[in-house]
Structure 1
């Protein structure tokens, strides 16, 4: 059986909600035996809608990371897990950003010192820096060295 598109599942959910609303309205306006037949018919429609939804939704991906399952098994809130994960990713990103900036600073200082120490390699250093999108001397000005 081919997976149904997500909008089909949305339509099935809307059908279930509509059936529940109609049952609620029928129960609220119950007038006796004539309403009973209508109520029975609507309950059968609800059952059919739920069955269709169940069949349609079985194709949806439902895999969860084992860490979340363990977290829930321990009686903890999965929203807290998500918040902690986001905070850990932010810390890691900040660390990697700092590391990247430090290496960029080292690259710029090394390039400047290589040009000062070995003037003949200036062209090669400039070519390497240009490959990284850096202009010789610009990095030193940004760092306040010049």
Structure 2
């Protein structure tokens, strides 16, 4: 018996929704049916579908290997071949994918960690650096305004060349 892309074992459900691996986009329009979908979106959807097929194939392989029944042992080799075919389906798309994945994200995936943690820490670090830069900018602007006011007060002849710095509030 050949494993199907959305096969379910009696003990637990498949990690992807039934039918997700066989999902195809016939017409390239958005959900509202009004605007054409960009090629990148079609490629992304196809890659997602093929990735779900790999996940389902791996799940089926794990279920057959864990079953331990003589009939399922014969199907393990078949399941391995199915996984290889699904991985080859993704490899075919290699020339159509132009996304850059940061090395840190790949390292996290290789280590078995969630790449969302990389995104979360990056966003937190950028927000912190942004706040620091904003504080520096506001400090320099406040100093410039106070310096302009003090220069305009003590050297009235310089007031035309000081511009808005002399008139701005701290």
Normalising TM by the smaller chain, what interval?
Answer: 0.5 to 0.7
What secondary structure sits across from 1:89 in the alignment? helix
Alignment partners' CA distance in 2, 1:60 and 1:118 = 64
Match for residue 73 of structure 1 among 110, 122, 132: 110
Runs of 4+ that moved beyond 4 A: 10-13, 53-57
Quick check: 2:43–2:96 contact (8 Å CA) kept in 1? no
Question: Is residue 9 from structure 1 mapped to residue 43 from structure 2 by the alignment?
Answer: yes
Alignment partner of 1:102: what SS? helix
- SS of the counterpart of 1:58? helix
Normalised to the residue count of structure 1, the TM-score between the two structures is 0.53
Q: Which residue of 2 aligns with 1:123?
A: 160
Instruction: Please state how far the C-alpha of 1:121 moved relative to its aligned partner.
Output: 0.8
Larger radius of gyration: 1
Distance (whole Å) between structure 1 residues aligned to residue 45 and residue 127 of structure 2: 38
Could you tell me how far apart the structure 1 residues matched to 2:91 and 2:110 are?
Answer: 25
Equivalent in the alignment of 1:86: 123
Structure 2 regions of 5+ residues with no counterpart? Answer: 1-37, 51-84
Q: Residue by residue, what CA displacement relative to the aligned partner does 1:80-132 show, whole Å, maximum 9, x if unpaired? A: 11111111011011111111100010010010011112111100001xx3xxx
Structure 1 or 2: larger helix share? Answer: 1
Q: How far apart are the structure 1 equivalents of 2:114 and 2:146?
A: 49
RMSD: 3.2
Change (3 A) 1:75 1:95: same
Count of residues in Structure 1 that have an aligned counterpart in Structure 2 = 97
Unaligned runs of 5+ in 1: 17-46
